[in-house]
Amino acid sequence: MKSWVRPLAGLGLAASVAACAPPEAPGAQLDPRLPTENFKADVADEPHELALAVHGWGLSQNQASALTDFAVGWQASGAVPIRIHVPTGVDPAIARRFGEMVREHLSKEGVPDEAMQMVESGGDNVLRVGYLRRVAVVPECGVQWSDLRRSAANEVQPNFGCAVTANIAAQIAEPNDLLGPRPSEPVDAGRRATVLDKYRKGQNTAAEVDKRADGAVSRAVQ
């Protein structure tokens, strides 16, 4: 009789201890539900600047080319303000005129005048033009290691999922996609009306198949 009384007593003691366990504190950090949730690609804003040597005779060919690429990158980043930092360590008239040349070149490349702001800054003979762009923050892998030969708790290793997340963050073209999906484009109301009209008439609503676009490289001659 004693052989089954002791196990039951142990189960009762374990149940009582579990019932007395304190609840999770508000705001407590819970373990991820999946191993792939251990790491997450974050998004941050970082300055993107272009340093140009001030010339009294104007922009060089390399500087003009660099400003053109700069304008293309700005247009892809969204409507963020551009600041042109005019140095105060050189002739003020030359630095101001050079800054106006930079502003005019960016305006020709499609940057609106209201998006650019000229400010005075320190520095010697170097004009800086820049803006804050959104970038994906890649998680750092390999910070914590465990013995891969042992897993007494049958849990995954600390770095599991980090490499995949880091690769996605490094390859993504638009970091804003990490924050949420893009808004849907307007529907094609004309096509929808055509399909509904055919559906009401009992006609085939699928588009006609173009036999010239079947992908065949060659055909056998009969």
Closest alpha carbon to 78 in 33, 133, 18, 39: 133
Mean pLDDT, range 2-11, rounded to an integer: 49
Mean pLDDT, range 146-151, rounded to an integer: 77
Backbone angles phi, psi at 196, to 5 degrees: -65, -35
Identity of the residue numbered 93: A
pLDDT, residue 172, reads 86
- pLDDT tops 90 at residue 34: no
pLDDT, residue 103, reads 94
DSSP assignments along the chain, one per residue:
-HHHHHHHHHHHHHHHHHHTSPPPPTT--PPPSSGGGS---EEEEEEEEEEEE--TT---HHHHHHHHHHHHHHHHH-S--EEEEEESSS-HHHHHHHHHHHHHHHHHTT--GGGEEEEEE--SSEEEEEEEEEEEEPPPPSSS---TT--TT----TTTTHHHHHHHHHH-S-GGGGTSPPPPPPP-HHHHHHHHHHHHTT---SPPP-GGGS--S-----
Q: Quickly state the pLDDT bin for 219 (edges 50, 70, 90).
A: low
Q: Quickly state the pLDDT bin for 192 (edges 50, 70, 90).
A: confident
Instruction: List, for residues 81-105, the tens digit of each pLDDT value.
Output: 999 999 987 788 899 999 999 999 9
pLDDT, residue 59, reads 92
Say if residues 39 and 139 touch (Cβ distance below 8 Å). yes
Instruction: List, for residues 108-128, the tens digit of each pLDDT value.
Output: 999 998 999 999 887 778 999
Q: What token pair was written down for 30?
A: 């819970």
Q: Where are the domains of the chain?
A: 42-137
pLDDT, residue 23, reads 53
User: CB atoms < 10 A from the CB of 118, how many?
Assistant: 16
> CATH homologous superfamily for 42-137?
OmpA-like domain (3.30.1330.60)
Q: What token pair was written down for 166?
A: 């880091």
